[in-house]
Structure 1
Amino acid sequence: MTIEPPAPGEPRRPDGPRDPGDAWVVAEDGTRYWGRFGAAGLLAVDPARGVLLQHRVGWSHFGGTWALPGGALHQGESPLRGAVREAQEEAGVPDGAIVPRFTHVFDARIWRYTTVVADVADPFEPVISDPESLELAWVPPAIVDALPLHPGFAAAWPDLRARLDIRPAVLVDAANVVGAVPDGWWRDRQGAATRLRDRIARLAERGIEAPTLGLEGMRWFPLFAMVVEGAARGVEDADGVRVFSADGSGDDEIVRRAQAMVASGLRLTVVTSDRELRRRLDEVGAAVEGTRWLLEQLD
């Protein structure tokens, strides 16, 4: 493997506080990959308009093809942050406009490309904001294959397309999870539920490895929700976590929420170790994991 700087006319970015990674990684067979620290791209999904694609300018690598807004990762930068940054630089994606759903990785051993698939939470119009694009367009998934695609994106697209209809969610029986750890929760049930919510919020931000959810791909970012009851009622939502307060039975509220989530097409996992509740959830069609499953993810 060798590292080569960009040739004249190839994209360069201003020097910053860390290495921007603007160099070619060259494999022993001569294959070149852009990005000293790997690369990442964003596949934004809008249910009404399709996926956001970039028509690459002619002088770029595989110019004239269609691919994703993306580019080299900076030193120490996560693929998620890098993909969003590149999409903001190249397509004007606004802050807070997208919510990550899953990642897909092409691993060449000496180099990796991470595709971050994200749902559009706040519709926007892309803006060509650097010289690397001929055009940006929302393309219905059914006609993506009809475009001249960048070879790397063309290879990944069948897997990406197959997962666009999968939307995982995790619903947590907060009382059951809190009660599984003897840390004095009984002295302040609302405080204990709030601490659990905050830990789940951090998990929502970093995501869960695909096999843990029984899914393919690299990492998924499920929708997270939790049900609180009794003295724990009143805990508010946090970034990445919806909190439902049960007016009566917590179990009944969990079953009602699970029914609604499954009916909406979500691939739902409920976290509880309550045997009777597990039986009721089996009838709803939700997958069920015990409290240890969640605690291992939180740790």
Structure 2
Amino acid sequence: MTALPPTHPRDSGDAWVEGPDGRRFWGRYGAAGLLVHDEAAGILLQHRAEWSHFGGTWGLPGGARHEGESAVDGAIRESEEEAGVPADALRLAFTSVLDLGFWSYVTVVTRTSRPFAPRIGDAESLELRWVPVDEVEALPLHPGFGSSWPALRERLEERVRVVVDAANVVGSVPDGWWKDRAGAATRLLAQLERLGAAGIETSSLSDPVSQSTPLSPEAGPGRTWPHLVVVLEGQAKEADAVDSERISVLRAAGSGDDAIVDEVARAASQPLRERIVVVTADRGLTERVQALGAEVRGPGWLRGMLDPSD
């Protein structure tokens, strides 16, 4: 008889939570699951052990979050334990939140940066399988995943590119930036590097003035991880480089506005259609990029998401 993979030590979060209507949900501090999308292989699904909640169904690797643990960290940790998912093979795309008030579940959607073979790491899985996107609905799905899959599938190809007019953003605050333009640009890049790692609230992309109200009381804000393109011009081009795959720095050979328009035109012409958001308050530039299909947000929109301690 083949020995079952070991179970992992219990955490204080490994407990049931009961709602006002008597329904029970796993995870004292909420739960999180990881949806891994590989362009060639499909979606990584877990065939749940018969003894588990909704055993025999197919769903996402994941589980209860630890106290104080973020949903992203929890989903990746659980998936590494259950399915051998390597964190360095993932790129964050977005999160989708089910918030019941007394309990929440966060689906962390990622894309693969390299192929990998999953492996069963504990007794919670009967099988792990890459399932083509078109074949997911044919399986007996875990009810929670089954209800969320249509909306998740619709967003799988979602890409967001935020192009930052650095001169306009830096110049929006009279903090002495003109005394050291390269230093001011370096500080902005450091802030954007942290923002790129943390992601932005998806709702902030829906409303250019304020963050929109979720469509349903059970649908939390969620987060999106865009690719940030920062355009520097003049003395700001001497800013220090950043080390982040989330940020591209374009040092304009001439006009910063022209470089931004060229970047928007290039991105808009790619086969994989991206949602392009340009951050600027320049009216002329706004008209040029909107003519190419880009959306525009003012510097205040971006500054409102940056760490105020910076």
TM-score, normalised to structure 2's length? Answer: 0.88
Q: Contact 2:8 / 2:122 at 8 angstroms: preserved in 1?
A: no
Of 95-104 and 271-280, more deviation after overlay is shown by: 95-104
Partner of 1:22: 14
Partner of 2:303: 295
2:56 maps to 1:64: yes
RMSD: 1.8
Q: Contact 2:83 / 2:128 at 8 angstroms: preserved in 1?
A: yes
Partner of 1:276: 284
2:255 maps to 1:255: no
- Counterpart code for 2:47: H
Q: Contact 2:170 / 2:185 at 8 angstroms: preserved in 1?
A: yes
**SS of residue paired to 1:169:** strand
2:141 maps to 1:149: yes
Which gives a bigger RCO, structure 1 or 2 (Cα 8 Å, sep 6+)?
Answer: 2
Gaps of 5+ in 1: 1-10
Gaps of 5+ in 2: 1-5, 208-213, 215-220
TM-score, normalised to structure 1's length? Answer: 0.91
Q: Contact 2:120 / 2:128 at 8 angstroms: preserved in 1?
A: yes
Match of 1:90 among 82, 86, 98: 82
Distance 2:197 2:63 in 1: 22
- Counterpart code for 1:237: V
- Counterpart code for 2:250: F
- Counterpart code for 2:285: L
What are the within-5 Å matches in structure 2 for residues 198-209 of structure 1? 198-209=190-201
Partner of 1:119: 111
Q: Deviations over 1:144-173 (max 9, x none)?
A: 100000000001111111111211121101
Distance 2:82 2:237 in 1: 45
Number of equivalenced pairs: 287
Match of 2:27 among 22, 25, 35: 35
**SS of residue paired to 2:45:** strand
Distance 1:184 1:110 in 2: 47
What are the within-5 Å matches in structure 2 for residues 177-192 of structure 1? 177-192=169-184
Q: Contact 1:12 / 1:22 at 8 angstroms: preserved in 2?
A: no
**SS of residue paired to 1:297:** coil
**SS of residue paired to 1:172:** strand
**SS of residue paired to 2:96:** strand
**SS of residue paired to 1:14:** coil
2:274 maps to 1:266: yes
